[in-house]
Amino acid sequence: MTTFIIITAIATSIAALVGTLLVGKDVSSKLKEYEKKGDTLENTLARSNEYETNSLRVNIRSLTWIYVVLTVVIIAVCLAIFFY
């Protein structure tokens, strides 16, 4: 039983890492796309404002859920090991 719990915790941690990397990759690809456009100062400022609002709305929410789930699973695993 303990082995299953530890494997579950490790798998959840790996899933959180992969999710974080995917969010980072998405942000990186958007930045590269913006660099390719290389427009005027006004367009750059508009994209920057759009990125800031989009990042707060989407990326932060995604990362928050990833780490909330990770924290709950790790706490459950610790409690299960402690009481087992």
Q: Are 78 and 17 in contact, with CB atoms under 8 Å apart?
A: no
Phi/psi of residue 19, each to 5°?
A: -60, -40
Tell me if the pTM is above 0.85. no
Task: Quote the tokens at residue 5.
Answer: 């719990």
pLDDT per residue over 11-68, tens digit each? 888 988 998 898 888 888 877 877 777 667 777 787 778 877 877 778 788 888 888 9
How far is 51 from 58, CA to CA, in rounded Å? 10
